[in-house]
A and B are shown apart, each in its own frame.
Chain A
């Protein structure tokens, strides 16, 4: 069973078509990177999976179920959790409240508390500042909080949209290590990135997305050495 199977989806925003028959797959336990430039359709793909936009064609299966027409909250409840672009933490709620919101659908409060403790164990900086407003954190810490918040939902498939955006190289490395660690504990990961170098370092497989569809696919090491990738995304 695959963690995620996207099969030929189209997404429209009014008259603009963002996705043209997008297909991709995340195997269980994999980290799959999705690379591409601005406007290629990376974010639209994640939004379709998390139910925030509805595809006009194609199907999406997650963890064995057809979720194409499900509501965002049903999808979160199934363990498909989206860390959105720009982190979108709740800046005037405390760090602790942000984490609690990650577990909004978890009925057993003891489970929520246990998961929050685990996040605090992974990210001690957050624990030190648990009573502070989220907006007082630095960009990198906010990204850590956004990932931590998603973990409280108990994800089986974690989708991250540009977690490295606007962060210093050292912080990017920390975030990628965190993602790799989460993956090693059994969570499948779909990682959307413009920072191809950082993403390919931890990914098992990767896709390249252009104009709303995938154009290349392969194991991460292979793509990292592919001259087309090197020229277009890894630069000099």
Chain B
């Protein structure tokens, strides 16, 4: 999942991943450095629609919520254009009010979520008696759900992320394919034998040429087909984790 805050302004909007329409609005308000209490609704609506248009081409499944917000934005924009019957009337409600309150409230919970993330991080560094059992229980709960099975689409998305990272991070090497699928299968097996599990990302060794990563990916697909590994994803678009499967060969 793209981290909006750290991605910076230079990145094209459509490459970012948002949790929902409000997440996108928070991003647009910050990016444009506009006053939340006086949102330039035309500008924000335009940028919002730009993103939605780019997005709907790829992931239609979550487009509904974005389209609903787009409709709200356009309604507000239209209301703003209407002549105000009585400009002195203090009671007259700004058509943007409700939306602004929602954005602020959402932003606050986003912040609290970040606090929770900090607590999660520091908690992971503390160990007590019985922590093995505690973690094992927690992991068992996390992976039990069949809904967590990663689909081919999830895998491709995760792999695209990895490759995109590679394209950003490094210069390109041109070299012959120096690694075989068997070697990568062995590598993945050794990792899983040692740890029992691995994150998808960790199997792509930093510093290796991209061609090796492609081989790693093919090896993963093979092993999943053979039932050697199980691929689990706790959340839609979340990180994928690799576990030892029934057909695991030592």
Say if A and B assemble together. no
A residues near B (Cβ < 8 Å) are: none
B residues near A (Cβ < 8 Å) are: none
